[in-house]
Each structure stands twice: as structure tokens, then as C-alpha cells.
A and B are shown apart, each in its own frame.
Chain A
Amino acid sequence: DAGVTQSPTHLIKTRGQQVTLRCSPKSGHDTVSWYQQALGQGPQFIFQYYEEEERQRGNFPDRFSGHQFPNYSSELNVNALLLGDSALYLCASSLRWDQPQHFGDGTRLSIL
């Protein structure tokens, strides 16, 4: 049983570019959340998707957007990249919003 898978594992972009990160949830999970984790800090909630809709959003600008597909997989899009967007981006899935979230190993995004 595959857990949460994310792609790519590493990515290097330059300021102003756009990026798309992908996530496949754990089998059976229908809820997907995205987090940003800066070095030495805890994950910060970006948003959560359920039934292909954004259900809640954290304190992130609208340069951060997402999508959930009918098979529950999800994408995180970031436009107009800034140096400060360099971080580990984590995807987590769960069966319900109040059930344990299971994380992927993340995408390490570096902005030059």
C-alpha cells in the first residue's frame, strides 16, 4: 500500500518563474493538505482540498493556488516565485479532516 507520494523531489527555479508540485494521497484518503516548511521550522498550513474544492486556506498570498482531481490527487502551483519561497513543500492526506494526516517526503524547492 503506497503512502503519500510527491513529485518532483527537488526543484530549482529562478525568481519570477512559476512551479507546479504534485501529490498522490495514500490509498483511500480523500482529503489533501499542503504545507510549507522552512529550514528549522515546523510546517505551515497552506490550504486543504476536499471534493475538489479548497476548504480552508492559511496565511499565504494568492500566488499560491491548488487543485484536486477526481482521483483525489492534488497539485500546488506557485506563481511569481520569490527567494522566500525556498522551502520544503509537504503534502499530507487523511481520510477525514480530523483523522491523522500522513505526509509525503516533500518537494525541496530552491529559488535562485
Chain B
Amino acid sequence: GESVGLHLPTLSVQEGDNSIINCAYSNSASDYFIWYKQESGKGPQFIIDIRSNMDKRQGQRVTVLLNKTVKHLSLQIAATQPGDSAVYFCAELTSGTYKYIFGTGTRLKVLA
């Protein structure tokens, strides 16, 4: 649904470990999904996208998984680095609309 909540969930991982960030989306008619990374004081930065006709897509060090049955999206980051520390948002686009709906966001903290 619409992004709500004042307190971001936080995921803390050791440098070099893999990170998994999860997102539950709201609309079964959503057919396009994007993961964004937002660093402090900056706008969201595109990481990777996936369409509903796929269930997995890989980029450089990142993988997005889509489970349409349970309306769940995940972002996997391999070999997490300090520069990965940021807030991560998923965004969904429902077929027939132009309105992206963003999730609540997850703060990723990478521990040295």
C-alpha cells in the first residue's frame, strides 16, 4: 500500500556478507518493480528493476527476486560493502496507471 510509518526497519550486516532486503507489495495487478537506494541528502538511485513476467533478475552484485504468489519482492546484495549503507526502497507500478507506489524503506547498515 502507500508508504507509511515513521520508523524505518534496519538491517545490520557485516562487511563482506550477503544482504537480503525484503518488500511486500500491495497490488496483485502491479507488473513492474524497481529497487532504489537512497543515501543521506540525495535522491533515490536506481539499482535494478524487474517485470512481472520474470521471477529473477541479476545485476552487478545485486539480484532481485519476485514472488507474485505472495506479492513479495527481495533484493540480494552480494559481498556487502560500506558504500552499500543507505536506505533501500522498493517501488511498484500497477498496470494501467502511471503512479509508482513506494514501500516504507529499509535502512542497511554495514558493519566493518
Contact = CB atoms under 8 A, between A and B. Distances in A.
Q: How large is the interface on A (under 10, 10 to 19, 20 to 34, 35 or more residues)?
A: 20 to 34
A56 B43 contact: no
Contacts, number: 64
A82 B61 CA distance: 43
Interface in A49-86: 50, 55-56, 58-59
B61 to A, nearest CB: 18
Interface string B30-55: 00101010000111111001000000
Interface of A: 4, 33, 39-45, 48, 50, 55-56, 58-59, 90, 92, 97-98, 100-106
Interface of B: 2-8, 32, 34, 36, 41-46, 49, 89, 91, 93, 97-105
The 5 residue pairs across chains A and B that have the minimum distance between CB atoms: A42-B3, A42-B102, A103-B43, A56-B98, A97-B98
